[in-house]
Amino acid sequence: MPRGPRVTIENACYHVMTRGNQKQNLFKEKGDYDTYLRILKKYKSKYKFLLYGYCLMPNHVHLIIEPRRQKNLSKLMQGLNLSYAMWFNKNYDKVGHLHQDRFKSMVVYKDKYLLNCINYIEANPVRAQIIEYPGDYKWSSYKDKVFNKNSAVLDFIKF
């Protein structure tokens, strides 16, 4: 049975998740996280979306995105995932799918829930018992947000 079209709503944000195929790790070394963020920055420039939060876990990724054009959500995620998968497969001499199925996305309105959603994804490494404090995790938006750091990829929410 074919899957239905993705629901998009004007002026909404999206909690986007993508997972490694068969729950395999998307990131094997620290440099892999940097490469993903570099590719994310490239696609952010190309599609002009706003990024309000992110967390790169070993086997999955969370992004809070507000696309300028709703139709660009699928295009930017397809390009981001494909570019990273091609780099990963070349770098680790692999073939085949890196990501499990297509990305998932949930509509998040720009209200208190958006802030809760960002806090939820930034606490992911604590819940996974990778670290004890969200500020200790290098691969999330937590430090940039909390310390008001000028980030190359993160945007600050304007209500």
pLDDT in tens, 36-84: 999 999 999 999 999 999 999 999 999 999 998 878 899 999 999 999 9
Q: Cα separation of 69 and 28, whole Å?
A: 33
Contact (Cβ atoms closer than 8 angstroms) between residue 121 and residue 114: no
Residue 157 is encoded by which pair of tokens?
A: 């929410």
Task: Confirm whether pTM is higher than 0.85.
Answer: yes
Q: Cα separation of 144 and 85, whole Å?
A: 26
Grade residue 9 by pLDDT with cuts at 50, 70 and 90.
confident
pLDDT confidence of residue 105 = 92
pLDDT confidence of residue 102 = 86
pLDDT confidence of residue 27 = 97
Grade residue 11 by pLDDT with cuts at 50, 70 and 90.
confident
pLDDT in tens, 68-79: 887 889 999 999
**Reported CATH class of domain 13-146:** alpha beta
Q: Going by DSSP bridges, is the β-strand pair 50-56/104-108 parallel, antiparallel, or unpaired?
A: unpaired
**pLDDT reading at 2 higher than 70:** no
**pLDDT reading at 1 higher than 60:** no
Write the CB contacts of 29 (distance below 8 Å, at least 6 apart in sequence).
none
**For the chain, which residues make up each domain, given as ranges?**
13-146
Write the CB contacts of 61 (distance below 8 Å, at least 6 apart in sequence).
16, 17, 18, 19, 26, 36, 54, 55
* Nearest to 52, CA basis, from 130, 110, 135: 110
| 3-state SS, residue 157 | coil
